[in-house]
Amino acid sequence: MGDSAQAAHATLALMKIETRAVHAGRHIDPATGAVTPPIHLSTTFERAPDGGYPTGFSYSRDGNPNRLMLEKCLADLEGGKEALVFSSGLAVATAIIQGLEPGDHIIAPDDVYWALRQVIHGIFGKWGLDTTFVDMTDAEPVRAALRPNTRLIWLETPSNPLMKITDLSAIAALARQTKAITVCDGTFATPILQRPLDHGIDMVTHSTTKYISGHSDVVGGVLVTRYDNYLFERCRRSQNFGGSVPSPFDCWLTLRGVETLPYRMRAHSENALRIARCLQEHPAVEAVYYPGLPGHGGHEIAALQMSGFSGMLSFQVRGGREAAMAAAARCRLFIRATSLGGPHSFIEHRASIEGPKTRTPQNLLRVSIGLEHPDDLMADLNQALG
């Protein structure tokens, strides 16, 4: 890096998030002058005469230039010390749970992302972990669930699919008096709208598959830590030796997505607020769950800890499961698919995705509001709801 590039990086830390989303972690390629980073496919890197690795890279499972750029950028956006990017959001969750000792106790939200329950019970059931699922819209049930062996408090805010809000500072304050590490799944908010580390949370994770990559074309995950801790180190080892690494191309695609993340989140949030307001007035709609609505139970806390309310909302349709399924089937612009955070709007009957044990209401539809014009989206919902 030249002197001028170094000076630019020194001042980057003082700049706004839109600027950091474009510049953090990147540098002009010294060999070619390329502005957009090359994709480094090489699996291995040459050693120096003294046997060392002068660039810091030795083998691509341990580290790769595209991965490092993405990690530096995401750590910067979160205000964290360091980041690890993984081959999926669930690979991060798996590495975290694997970092616990048999017999450790976990506290998680009662409406935690459904597949995390599969990781805890399905994969680690034989490890004898103890898990208490509590309502995290209030700190009191979390306090009541604490045990001397609680080592992990998992948060997810806004939550999936009811968009429940957890008070980040309140849970961080509780955890500080214990040996538990707090990890927040911030997938729905992204570091653009919410920075859990600023509220004292220890680590943040995202499925970068969603808003961060932002184009429904790459699966990935990230873990960002505020400070060095044993669980983060175990995740690093689990990745290096367990092998759940993202490909250089996946990292490159994700980093490209990050460049427009601040502007996309603004548009997703604006569109979703308009649609939430319209749905609230719709006679075929029983209830709307969107933290941007003043009537939402978590609105006040969300307004304090988020700078926008994101593009995710869900609503209950009058007439039960059949009416909800029929409305989803009548959509023409909304695509009937799972996942979220891309430019296309998606609509999904959550309960049937989550299976027979789901706690999600049967007449609930979850939508990921995309980047289409909100008038066109609302016209589609109006015709689908009849």
**Active site amino acids:** 61, 113, 185, 210
Nearest-approach distance from CB 107 to ligand PLP, in angstroms: 17
Closest residue to ligand PLP, judged by C-beta, is 89
* Angle of helix 320-330 versus helix 374-385 axis, rounded to 10: 130
Residue labelled with tokens 């709609």: 285
For the chain, counts of helices (H) and of strands (E): 15, 12
**Chain-centre distance for alpha carbon 125:** 25
CA distance 285 to 243: 46
Nearest-approach distance from CB 317 to ligand PLP, in angstroms: 22
| Residues forming beta bridges with residue 134, ordered by sequence position | 109
| 215 or 330: CB nearest ligand PLP | 215
| 187 or 310: CB nearest ligand PLP | 187
Nearest-approach distance from CB 187 to ligand PLP, in angstroms: 4
Please report, as a single letter, which amino acid is at residue 374. P
Give which of 143, 140, 172 is closest to 155, Cα–Cα.
Answer: 172
Give, in order, the Cα–Cα distances in Å from 215 to each of 83, 208, 220, 258, 261.
22, 10, 12, 10, 11
| 26 or 268: CB nearest ligand PLP | 268
Q: DSSP assignment, residue 318?
A: T
| 45 or 124: CB nearest ligand PLP | 124
Nearest-approach distance from CB 81 to ligand PLP, in angstroms: 22
Nearest-approach distance from CB 283 to ligand PLP, in angstroms: 31
Nearest-approach distance from CB 190 to ligand PLP, in angstroms: 11
Token pair of 162 as six digits: 């009811």
- Put residue 319 in one of left, alpha, beta given phi > 0 → left and psi -120 to 50 → alpha: left
CA distance 165 to 300: 9
| 210 or 226: CB nearest ligand PLP | 210
| 64 or 187: CB nearest ligand PLP | 187
Catalog residues that contact ligand PLP under the rule CB under 6 A. 88-90, 113, 156, 160, 185, 187, 207, 209-210, 219, 221
CA distance 306 to 288: 19
Phi, psi dihedrals of residue 346, rounded to the nearest 5° = -120, 150
